[in-house]
A and B are shown apart, each in its own frame.
Chain A
Amino acid sequence: MLTIVIRRMLLAIPTMIALTALLFFSLTALLGSPAAIMLGQDASTDAIAAINKRYGFDRPLYVQYLDWIASAVRGDFGRSYVTQQSVVSAVLPSIAVSLELAVLAMLMAAVTAVVTNTLPAGRRIVGPFVVGANLVAITVPNFMLGISLIFFFSVGLGWLPTTGWAPWSEGALVHLKHLILPVLTLSAYYFGVFSIIYRAEYRDVEKRLFIQAARAKGISRSRVAFRHALPNAILPVITVIGLSMGQLAGGAVVTETVFSMPGIGRLLVASIGSHDFPVMLAIAMIIVVGVVVMNLLADIAYTIVNPLIRIG
């Protein structure tokens, strides 16, 4: 198993290099002259040249890239054009917020999808309803769902707050209360996707001989469902979790904006609005690398969970 894990990790590195390089080159190419942005459109050529020399914008692109990576690895992403603060100090706290949202959303989606579709009673009763709910879940855009939930639960019923974030210092219960709607919003789509995949796989697993053999041992229906069928049917869900990471990033950006959460997604949108290129680039890079890493983790998780691959 270790060899498989190491091999996957090694494969991820050239992927990350290729993606970050591609991102860097295309963005700097699109950006044009950063000096012109910093100084304003009608700056003199001398002033621009001075800035270029000072920041090293006149060096060949690949040198700039390597330099950027070298600094980034040491934790230095440059300074914000707008605030002149180091990018890291602005970005770091927001990563925690986004991670919490994303992890909770994925967890909620996976657990509810798997459990509702495993319970023998659940499958019978919930079945047709779930199919319809799945369809809605995967087509309603994040922002529409989020705003609808806010309208219903906050503006209408007043049960839940309209923003998605309260710091832990205000108490765990308050913190979690604020998180309910954003987590629901972000997880809805994945609940749909996981449900569809899991139900299909479960239907196949149910027909296999070892399920009947387990019942022949005198095992109850629910134990067979949860201890025999579930561990087999859940494997494709793990794979899909890994593949969904890219899309999750996008969903998180929208959700954070709807619920005014101080996460990395909303920071990205803000930096776009203020043309703050270093912050924008840093966040885009972090997200891309993060997606590759998450993908890798899901891959490894699958290898661990599936004995056919783990031991082979």
Chain B
Amino acid sequence: MMASLLEVRDLSVHYADRTRSLLAVNSVSFDLAPGETVALVGESGCGKSTIGLAIMGLATAKRIEGTVTLAFKNGERRNLADLSDRAMQDVRGNEVAMIFQEPMSSLNPVHTIGWQIREAITQHQGGSRASADGAALNLLSQLGIPDAERCLHAYPHQLSGGMRQRVMIAIALSCRPSLLIADEPTTALDVTVQAQILELLKRLQAETGMAILFITHNFGVVAEIAQRTMVMYAGQIVETGDYGEVFHSPRMPYTRALLDSLPHLGRVTAGTRLAAIPGQVPNPAALPSGCAFHPRCRYFVENLCDSRCPPLEQSANHRVVRCLRWKEILAPGQP
């Protein structure tokens, strides 16, 4: 059994607004193996992006609890949550990199692409401008950007959305991180470009052996790329497991509902309606009692689901579920 690359234990993130404290991430634990792709799926507001930022030490939170242990490239294992901001600067972009949702807004409009890639390279690897430029050119060609030379001198607004996202990926990969956190990297792109970027990520992962934590709200997007998946709701992980297994036989009713709301060839026959999940994502300041999903759950049982918060239970090898009734709700098609 390989030692994990990333071990997150009981990570909790407290935000504060003027009047009260909100728990955006509630005692989350998971592992990431080297070279693995894990999809972190959930609706907006469930805390998934916050986890990514918390790992990077960029969450503007009032208090962060728990440990985030990373296996560094030099073999050391350290808890990122303990490191100072100065020490984290050596980690960001170097050991762990992050790409974001809006490729246009993620690049600085007043600097050339070349300047921005060079900055990432010289920050961690030093070297002259010429060598950084050379490395940048290599990266861009590797990422399939035509006329990389001209791209270096261009400004972000001169490139298309897909190109910008490739540049973002180039910057993220420039120092060969062992973990890439991808926060909805394809959501703002159109469908054909989405597919290209996903292909690209898959190829790069095979070449570099890096792990990817893929954050998304869309189950379907990660079908080609993810080995495992974790589903989040209201700041907690509610189900994890092998991607294929979760996709085909979800145990947690929320996962079920999520999957049912996706249009899929073969799953939907003519005449059936898309099932949107009724109700809304709860406000972290006013979470429902007991199981956070119970107001919207069609398997809700009074005095059970609203009285205590379900713990994570092991349902099979490598599968974990947070539901009090999961044993009764087994295969799709069951009422």
A and B interact: yes
A residues with CB within 8 A of B: 208-210, 212-221, 227-228, 231-232, 305-308, 311-312
B108, A228: Cβ atoms under 8 Å? Answer: yes
* Closest Cβ–Cβ distance, residue A22 to chain B (whole Å): 39
Additional A-B contacts beyond A210-B108, A217-B97 (18; CB < 8 A):
A209-B105, A210-B106, A210-B107, A210-B109, A212-B100, A213-B106, A213-B168, A215-B58, A216-B56, A216-B98, A218-B124, A219-B89, A219-B93, A219-B119, A228-B111, A231-B111, A307-B109, A307-B110
Residues of A within 8 A of B155 (CB): 307-308, 311
Residues of A within 8 A of B86 (CB): 220
5 interchain residue pairs of minimum CB distance? A218-B93, A218-B92, A209-B105, A217-B93, A213-B106
Task: Tell yes or no: B123 within 8 A of A by CB.
Answer: yes
Interface residues of B in 81-112 (CB under 8 A from A): 85-86, 88-94, 97-98, 100-102, 105-111
Query: Roughly how many angstroms separate A226 CA and B109 CA in the complex, as a whole number?
Result: 15
Residues of A within 8 A of B90 (CB): 218
Q: In the complex, what residue of chain A is closest to B86 when comparing beta carbons?
A: A220
Task: Tell yes or no: B171 within 8 A of A by CB.
Answer: yes
Encoded as 1 (CB less than 8 Å from any A CB) or 0, chain B from 44 to 55 comes to: 000000000000
Query: Roughly how many angstroms separate A311 CA and B107 CA in the complex, as a whole number?
Result: 17
Of B58, B94, B111, the residue contacting A212 (CB under 8 A) is B58
Query: Roughly how many angstroms separate A208 CA and B108 CA in the complex, as a whole number?
Result: 9
A231, B110: Cβ atoms under 8 Å? Answer: yes
Residues of B within 8 A of A212 (CB): 58, 100
Task: Tell yes or no: B25 within 8 A of A by CB.
Answer: no
Residues of B within 8 A of A210 (CB): 105-109
A308, B109: Cβ atoms under 8 Å? Answer: yes
Known contacts A208-B105, A209-B105; A215 and B100 CB within 8 A of each other: no
Known contacts A209-B100, A209-B106, A307-B110; A217 and B123 CB within 8 A of each other: yes
Residues of A within 8 A of B94 (CB): 218
Residues of A within 8 A of B102 (CB): 209
A311, B158: Cβ atoms under 8 Å? Answer: yes
Q: How many residues of B contact A (CB 8 A)?
A: 32
B110, A232: Cβ atoms under 8 Å? Answer: yes
Query: Roughly how many angstroms separate A306 CA and B110 CA in the complex, as a whole number?
Result: 7
Task: Tell yes or no: B120 within 8 A of A by CB.
Answer: yes
Residues of B within 8 A of A214 (CB): 108
Residues of A within 8 A of B101 (CB): 209
Task: Tell yes or no: B157 within 8 A of A by CB.
Answer: yes
Known contacts A216-B58, A216-B98; A221 and B123 CB within 8 A of each other: no
Residues of A within 8 A of B56 (CB): 216
Q: In the complex, what residue of chain B is closest to A229 when comparing beta carbons?
A: B108
B157, A216: Cβ atoms under 8 Å? Answer: no
Write 12 A-B pairs (CB below 8 A) sorted by A numbering: A209-B102, A210-B105, A214-B108, A217-B93, A217-B123, A217-B171, A218-B90, A218-B92, A218-B94, A219-B89, A307-B110, A307-B155
Query: Roughly how many angstroms separate A218 CA and B87 CA in the complex, as a whole number?
Result: 10
Residues of A within 8 A of B58 (CB): 212, 215-216
Query: Roughly how many angstroms separate A208 CA and B110 CA in the complex, as a whole number?
Result: 13
Known contacts A210-B107, A231-B110, A307-B109; A220 and B100 CB within 8 A of each other: no
* Closest Cβ–Cβ distance, residue B248 to chain A (whole Å): 35
A215, B92: Cβ atoms under 8 Å? Answer: yes
B124, A232: Cβ atoms under 8 Å? Answer: no
Query: Roughly how many angstroms separate A216 CA and B108 CA in the complex, as a whole number?
Result: 13
A218, B91: Cβ atoms under 8 Å? Answer: yes
A213, B92: Cβ atoms under 8 Å? Answer: no
Residues of A within 8 A of B106 (CB): 209-210, 213
Query: Roughly how many angstroms separate A209 CA and B110 CA in the complex, as a whole number?
Result: 14
Residues of A within 8 A of B88 (CB): 218
Known contacts A209-B100, A307-B110, A308-B157; A216 and B105 CB within 8 A of each other: no
Query: Roughly how many angstroms separate A228 CA and B94 CA in the complex, as a whole number?
Result: 20
Which has the most chain A C-beta neighbours within 10 Å: B89, B101, B110, B119? B110
Residues of A within 8 A of B124 (CB): 218
Residues of A within 8 A of B89 (CB): 218-220
* Closest Cβ–Cβ distance, residue B155 to chain A (whole Å): 5
* Closest Cβ–Cβ distance, residue B126 to chain A (whole Å): 13
Query: Roughly how many angstroms separate A189 CA and B102 CA in the complex, as a whole number?
Result: 39
